[in-house]
Amino acid sequence: MNNNVTFQSYPLQIQNAVQEMNKVFDTPKKRAFAANKARIHLQTRSNAYSEAYAQLLKSLGLTSRVQDEYTQKLVAFYFHAKQHAYFNGKSMLEDFNNNGKLSHFFTSYR
């Protein structure tokens, strides 16, 4: 990750998506829950979204350094929960947005 890059240097599409993610993960407890679930259940990798999210968290003062590995987990959870995981027609992300937890076991969502 290039240390000279700022959040605003990412394309607007990525900035908007990352800001939406940050609305979902709006508390340390929600971020910790999602990162832990991703650590256990999902493969993560660095990409423009995780790098931009790491820059956003730093710019908001939520961390004192860029933490791409941590945001990789949040990005993986967000996209998995939004696009690939459903239980009775409701996405995992919708479930998570209700209270920052999941109503069902992670592996119950298909």
- Give the model confidence (pLDDT) of 1-45 as tens digits: 556 788 999 999 999 999 999 999 999 999 999 999 999 999 999
82: number of Cβ within 10 Å: 16
- pLDDT, tens digit (0-9, with 9 covering 90-100), for 77-104: 999 999 999 999 999 999 998 889 999 9
pTM, to two decimals: 0.90
At which residue do the structure tokens 């240390």 appear? 3
Q: Which residues of 86-107 are buried (b: 16+ CB within 10 A; e: fewer)?
A: bbeeebbbebbeeebebeeebe
Token representation of residue 65 = 């350094």
Q: How far is CA 98 from the centre of its chain?
A: 16
